[in-house]
């Protein structure tokens, strides 16, 4: 299908391209050669960047697709590869290797700001209604930009580069993890104070994904340990008791209403050891309230007996993302795997007869190959 009237916009000149061009876009071809896809809520707009072994589009361009009209309405072009796109009704955010580009959502888009960052190969950036969060110029730092005023705040989150970054749905909490992967740190987006630390584990790990529940009360994290952990989030300037109570799982034969807090979970982990002074901090840290195994379904190539990731243009590390978390509601979590047997898995958080919360796999479905 031809996309008539496609508007190309060249970021290198901060204006419309001097050479006109029209892309032939076929929707059925979107099943291959796409590296980044970002949908604007339940709206019709989709941000697309080429990727994979045979990219559908150049990897330095963002194609904004109007699914209602079945055509691309404009393109943003950059000097280097686009790692991620974020969309809202009023803003477009594009993450490159060392910069974040902010636009007003208009046709053509109006460039508002450009921010320098440390190396950001996974395109970490979060777009809320009031703030934008992305890596700072120094590895391990987070920049918080107020959309209305343009004010910039810096959070010294970690001493090593960031691996994951998430903004809560209510815009009040920023959660981060570094390349070390043992801790998830939680900060207030309003004043950048640290609200708490959540310990995923003691051994270093590669964090795959961090996601916060719709009511901003729970946080889930996955890693290359093939384990998902769920934590209670500390309050940020207001109590979450009401929202947590109103969104508890209903009681059934296997579960009852969810209760407890991060502190209670910590006490269950180590008991009185957590109160003894001078012991290593791992005994007093906040641990997950529940955890579960998920499938990664890796199918690595081998070279002289060693596992290696084959290079794939547009995909950092040479493999599709796996362990990506999505909250369906405040107690239902979906985890997407990748590999030869790509699938999504469904987990339910509830309280068992033992009075503790548990994370139980409730179903799964393949999205690659035969269902």
128 in Cβ contact with 171 (< 8 Å): yes
Backbone angles phi, psi at 291, to 5 degrees: -150, 160
At 264 the pLDDT is: 47
CA distance 366 to 370: 7
At 101 the pLDDT is: 98
CA 17 vs CA 10, 22, 40, 87, 199: distances in Å: 5, 12, 25, 22, 49
Tell me the per-residue pLDDT of 46-100, one tens digit each, with 9 for 90 and over: 999 988 777 888 899 999 988 888 888 999 999 999 999 999 999 999 999 999 9
SS3 316: helix
Sheet containing 34-39: order of strands: 15-16, 7-10, 71-77, 61-66, 45-50, 34-39
CA 296 vs CA 224, 299, 338, 342, 345: distances in Å: 8, 9, 6, 8, 10
Cα 152 → chain centroid: 22
Can you read off the two tokens belonging to residue 212?
A: 């916060």
At 369 the pLDDT is: 53
340 in Cβ contact with 297 (< 8 Å): yes
Q: List strand residue ranges (DSSP E) for 276-356, in order.
A: 286-287, 290-293, 301-303, 306-308, 324-329, 332-336, 343-351
At 286 the pLDDT is: 85
At 354 the pLDDT is: 86
DSSP state at residue 2: B
Which residues lie below 8 Å from residue 279, measured CB to CB, with a gap of 6+?
Answer: 273
3-state helix, strand, coil in the chain (%, to 5): 10, 45, 50
At 189 the pLDDT is: 95
At 33 the pLDDT is: 76
Which ranges of the chain have pLDDT less than 70? 1-32, 42, 236-284, 297-321, 338-341, 367-371
At 216 the pLDDT is: 96
Cα 326 → chain centroid: 9
Tell me the per-residue pLDDT of 303-322, one tens digit each, with 9 for 90 and over: 334 444 444 444 554 555 68
CA distance 274 to 90: 47
Sheet containing 173-178: order of strands: 162-167, 173-178, 183-188, 194-199, 286-287
SS3 102: strand
Each domain of the chain, given as residue ranges in start order, spans: 157-371
Under CATH, which number does the domain 157-371 receive?
A: 2.40.128.630
At 9 the pLDDT is: 42
139 in Cβ contact with 119 (< 8 Å): yes
CA dihedral angle for residue 86, residue 89, residue 90, residue 92, rounded to 10 degrees: 20
H or E element, residue 162: strand 162-167
For tokens 């890596």, name the residue.
135
Q: Which residues are paired to 336 by β-bridges?
A: 324, 344
State the distance between the two ends of the chain, measured CA to CA, in whole angstroms.
29
CA distance 59 to 362: 37
Tell me the per-residue pLDDT of 209-228, one tens digit each, with 9 for 90 and over: 999 999 999 999 999 999 99
């Amino acid at each position: 299908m031809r996309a008539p009237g496609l508007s190309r916009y060249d970021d290198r000149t901060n204006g419309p391209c001097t050479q006109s061009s029209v892309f032939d876009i076929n929707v059925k071809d979107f099943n291959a050669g796409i590296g980044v896809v970002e949908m604007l809520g339940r709206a019709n707009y989709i941000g697309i960047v080429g990727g994979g072994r045979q990219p559908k589009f150049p990897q330095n361009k963002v194609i904004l697709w109007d699914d209602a009209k079945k055509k691309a309405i404009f393109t943003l072009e950059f000097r280097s590869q686009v790692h991620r796109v974020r969309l809202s009704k009023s803003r477009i955010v594009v993450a490159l290797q060392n910069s974040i580009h902010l636009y007003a959502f208009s046709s053509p888009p109006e460039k508002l700001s450009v921010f320098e960052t440390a190396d950001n190969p996974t395109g970490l950036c979060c777009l809320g209604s009031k703030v934008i969060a992305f890596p700072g110029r120094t590895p391990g730092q987070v920049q918080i930009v107020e959309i209305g005023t343009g004010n910039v705040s810096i959070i010294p989150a970690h001493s090593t580069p960031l691996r994951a970054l998430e903004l809560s749905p209510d815009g009040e909490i920023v959660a981060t993890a570094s390349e070390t992967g043992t801790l998830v740190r939680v900060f207030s987006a309003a004043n950048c104070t640290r609200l708490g630390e959540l310990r995923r584990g003691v051994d270093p790990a590669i964090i795959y994904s961090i996601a916060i529940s719709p009511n901003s009360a729970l946080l889930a994290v996955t890693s290359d340990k093939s384990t998902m952990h769920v934590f209670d989030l500390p309050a940020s300037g207001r109590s979450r008791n009401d929202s947590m109570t109103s969104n508890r799982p209903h009681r059934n034969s296997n579960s009852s209403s969810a209760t407890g807090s991060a502190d209670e979970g910590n006490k269950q982990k180590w008991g009185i050891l957590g109160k003894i002074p001078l012991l290593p901090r791992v005994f007093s840290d906040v641990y997950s309230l529940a955890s579960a195994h998920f499938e990664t379904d890796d199918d690595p190539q081998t070279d002289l007996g060693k596992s290696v990731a084959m290079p794939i243009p547009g995909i950092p590390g040479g493999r599709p993302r796996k362990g990506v978390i999505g909250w369906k509601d405040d107690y239902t979590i979906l985890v997407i795997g990748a590999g030869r047997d790509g699938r999504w898995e469904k987990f339910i958080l509830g309280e068992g007869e033992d009075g503790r919360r548990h994370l139980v796999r409730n179903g799964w479905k393949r999205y690659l190959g035969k269902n």
